[in-house]
Amino acid sequence: MNQESCVPRTAIVVGGGIVGVCCALWLQRDGLAVTLIDPAAPGDSTAKWSCGQMAVSEVVPLSKPGILKKIPGWLLDQQGPLALRPSALPGILPWFLRFLACARPTRIQAIAAELATLTREVYHDYAVLLEACPDKRLLGERPILEVFDTPQGLAQERHHFELRERLGFQVEELDAAAIADLEPSLAGRFKHGLLFPDWRAVSDTEGFIAALTASFEQAGGRRIRERVARLDEHQGQATGVTLADGRRLPAERVVIAAGNGSRAFFGQLGLSIPLAGIAGYQVVLPEPEVEIHHSTIYADGGFCFAPMTRGLQIGGTIEFAGEGAKPNFARADIILEKARRVLPQLRTTDFEYGVGYRPFLPDTKPIIDRSQRLPNVLLAFGHGQLGLTLGATTGRLIADLASGRATSLDLHPFRASRF
């Protein structure tokens, strides 16, 4: 064996959130020397401000039937589960037109089937990565609940959970007694619900990402807190990146996994992709004085109770705010007030607000692909509300692309050129 063959191959992953760190870990498992670059601290990412669910059957796209009729209501009712700032409408209109094109029943069924090919692999792919983490409780064992105010609310979802069942996922209907048995604090409040036996929740969204990052670094990976200014290239290949501080880092492979920040590289890569950052607001109650055992979605309220090690996290409301808009934490106030109505005994004197901007594409599917202009640049972004769920599977598929191996799944539905 000559000396050159002993030199490890190199890769840079741009973006240190859940998708980025999972890509870095899978590349590292392939023997690459990997550098992970992100300006934020480990765990301080969009997925931190999520409900922490492994939503393996959440494959029905956001563009559900009847969505067109709801848009005027979103404009008028800024307190609903979905809101659209009037000032954002002109800028987001092209995105919305593509979004509405995905609302046809045939498109919904096709998108759900395509997303299901990714979500079926979630637990196996995470098990490989979590094996190296000392804390074996990062991913919980309890299923997820969804509760409804009325039987009509449950009936409206029946078509969607029947689609999930056809795709091989589990759904069970719950009555008042079953809900009370699973969640005593909700006894008498809800009579209609669903149980998702194949969903799980992480114990701490920030800690989950931080633990995977620590595992990456302990195995020899390097993480740099800085912004990437541009990709370096020569003769149709990326040669590395230039950081905002002027440093140049060489690499044989570059992965763009920076969520909404991936847009910074679209011009250089010749991409025209309608990626929109949609705000999701969260409230954390460190000492809620109410015990919630399962991550529980309140469908009619448009939010979720997510028990975590740092407290009870309540959130999930969605806002189309527009490019560069400042957070509207009045949305978090709305969540907190709705939560008090469900659980009047909640202790809300201490709380923390947060917002995460989910990187959404109009068809709700991520991009997992290779750049056509610079073939050694790989693309992994646009996961919407499924970033945490699909992080490990995306990382494995990116490692396959980087190595030249045939991927176990058909990635044609997730190509960048589909737009």
Does residue 177 fall inside a structural domain? yes
- List all residues 6 or more positions away from 240 whose beta carbon is below 8 Å from its beta carbon: 12, 231, 232, 248, 249, 250, 251, 254
CB atoms within 10 A of CB 327: 16
Predicted confidence at residue 1, as pLDDT, reads 39
Shared domain for 185 and 96, answered yes or no, is yes
Per DSSP, the three-state class of 312 is strand
The phi and psi torsions of 114 (rounded to 5 degrees) equal -70, -45
Q: Residues 296, 61: contact at Cβ < 8 Å? A: no
Shared-domain flag, residues 174 and 289: yes
CATH number for the domain spanning 252: value is: 3.50.50.60
Q: Answer yes or no: is 127 within a domain.
A: no
The answer as to whether 393 is a domain residue is yes
Using an 8 Å Cβ cutoff, are 131 and 281 in contact? no
Residues 192 and 254 in one domain: no
The span from the CA of 171 to the CA of 168, in Å, is 10
Q: ∠ CA 189-191-197 to the nearest 5 degrees?
A: 105
- Verify that 187 and 233 share a domain, yes or no: no
Residues 78 and 143 in one domain: yes
Helix (H) / strand (E) element for 288: namely none
In a shared domain, residues 61 and 150:
yes
Strand arrangement, sheet containing 222-224: 222-224, 33-37, 10-14, 253-256, 377-381, 367-370
Q: Which of 360, 388, 409 lies at the terminal end of a domain, its last residue?
A: 360
What's the rounded Cα separation, in Å, for the pair 339 and 330? Answer: 14
> Do 399 and 297 share a structural domain?
no
Indicate which CATH number applies to the domain containing 187.
3.30.9.10
For residues 177 and 321, state if they share a domain: yes
Q: Residue 3: its pLDDT value, please?
A: 42
- Quick: pLDDT tens for 345-354: 999 989 999 9
Q: Domain limits at 79? A: 57-114+137-201+275-360
CA 243 from chain center: how many Å? 26
Count the Cβ atoms, other than its own, within 10 Å of residue 137.
11
Axis crossing angle, helix 18-29 with helix 387-403, rounded to the nearest 10: 30
Distance of CA 188 to CAs 180, 185, 371, Å?
7, 9, 54
Among 265, 247, 246, 245, which Cα is nearest to 255's?
A: 265
In a domain, 124, yes or no: no
120 is a domain residue: no
Give exposure, 213-251, as e/b (b: 16+ Cβ within 10 Å). bbbbeeeebebbeebbeebbbeeeebbbbebeeeeebeb
Per-block mean pLDDT, blocks of 10 residues, the chain (419 long): 59 98 98 97 93 95 72 67 81 89 91 97 97 93 96 87 93 97 96 97 96 98 98 98 98 98 98 94 95 94 92 87 85 90 93 93 97 98 96 98 96 97
> Do 93 and 170 fall into the same domain?
yes
In 3-state terms, what secondary structure has residue 112? helix
State how far the Cα of 368 lies from the Cα of 308, in Å rounded to an integer.
30
**What's the structural domain count of the chain?**
2
90 inside domain: yes
- Beta-carbon contacts of 45 under 8 Å, excluding residues fewer than 6 positions away, are 16, 17, 18, 38, 209, 259, 356
Q: What whole-number distance in Å separates Cα of residue 344 and Cα of residue 338?
A: 10
Q: Are residues 108 and 88 in the same domain?
A: yes
CA 105 – CA 8 distance, rounded (Å):
49
pLDDT tens for 249-291 read 999 999 999 999 999 999 999 999 999 999 999 999 999 999 9
3-class SS of residue 42: coil
Longest dimension (CA), the chain: 72
Q: Is residue 131 one of the residues assigned to a domain?
A: no
Q: Is residue 79 located within the same domain as residue 186?
A: yes
Residue 339 in domain: yes
SS3 117: helix
68 and 175 co-located in one domain = yes
DSSP H or E segment with residue 10: strand 10-14
DSSP per-residue string spanning 137-182: TSB----EEEEESSHHHHHHHHHHHHHHHHTT---EEE-HHHHHHH
pTM > 0.85: yes or no:
yes
Which amino acid is present at 263?
A: R
Domain boundary among 316, 331, 360: 360
pLDDT of residue 345: 94
**Cα-to-chain-centroid distance, residue 347:** 29
